[in-house]
Amino acid sequence: MPTLWFCLLALMMTVYVVLDGFDIGTGIVHWLVARNDRDRRAVFQAIGPFWDGNEVWLLAAGGTLYFAFPVLYASSFSGFYLPLMMVLWLLILRGCSIEFRSHLPEPVWRTFFDFTFSFASILLAIFLGAALANVLRGVPLDENASFFEPLWTNFVPTGNTGVLDWYTVLAGVVSLLSLSLHGATFLVMKTDGDVRERSRRLAIRLWYAVLPLCLLALIATYYVRPPAVVTAHKPVLWLFPPVVVASLAIEWWALRQNKDALAFYSSCGYLVGVLGGAAVAMYPYLLPDSVHLEHSLTIYNSASSPYALRVALWWWPLGMALAIAWFTIVYRSFRGRVVVEEEH
């Protein structure tokens, strides 16, 4: 039962990154691909029907973490209190920017919220990558499963670690570029005219940056936490590198051949391959100890009682069915490219 809930938690986090990732990426690149107010309105209209619904998956993952692995929830939310508060404020700033941006026609008002949207999206992408790197690297847990990490210490991923070091910063940069590429391919699929062409050119440039940095991050992960990438006892891990490589290759070809939808879906496949591989590499650990591995939080010493996990399986499929139905209706209703005509 703990293994099943580990898989469900990993699934929800992956869905969140894939869906909310494209509107985070849109926020990162929109200052580059939109040159005037009309272009920026096209960008905001492209993500307008989806962005708030996409964040539901983050709430669902947090709720699942709370009842399925309460020890991990208590430990991580206390130890990562500062970065979690920063992420919360960044999510709030993004939401306010999207909702308030068009309330007044004054250029200063709109420019302020355009900048805030990009600024919050950039930092959020970096923090999401750094968060994954912290989990892969491990944290200094004590025998009571408690820890505290400052924002940074000496930027070395061993010993007295902080949230930010050279490894987590590298992961943050990879996340920033990957989500930027994801957002650019989404705009290629959803917009038209100059915004679409600028997004295509930017996506191709980003592709050439993502490929080597992704490889560098994999090598760095092996250096920082060798057990996380040892495949001797996890042969299924060999399935994920081909998925990542094939997705990037198809994305490059699709961008060149004006296969807009295929390029976006290939970007989704790339993110699924990266996050799926990370989840399989971590199993059965949820939060490794960076000093004493025996202090690590696993799916066994962090899970709720078997009875609670069984009861949760009664309502989880119903909740997911409702969410999938709602997302299906929304994405089908707003399919196609956006057209900017009226000010509203």
Nearest-angstrom CA–CA distance, 76 and 282: 16
Total domains in the chain come to 1
Angle at 130 between CA 124 and CA 134, to 5 degrees: 140
- Is 28 part of any domain? yes
- Is 340 part of any domain? no
Which domain does 147 fall in, by range? 2-333
What angle do helix axes 107-137 and 193-224 make, rounded to 10 degrees? 20
Sign of CA dihedral 262, 269, 240, 129: positive
* pLDDT tens per residue across all 344 residues of the chain: 889 999 999 999 999 999 999 999 999 999 899 988 888 989 999 998 888 888 889 888 988 888 899 988 888 888 888 888 889 999 999 999 998 988 888 889 999 999 999 999 999 999 999 999 988 888 888 777 788 877 778 888 877 788 888 999 999 999 999 999 999 999 999 998 899 999 999 999 999 999 999 999 988 988 887 665 555 567 787 888 899 999 999 999 999 999 999 999 999 999 999 999 899 888 888 888 877 777 788 899 888 888 888 888 888 888 889 889 989 999 999 988 887 765 54
**What is the pTM (predicted TM-score) of this model?**
0.92
Continuous H helices in 101-165 = 107-137
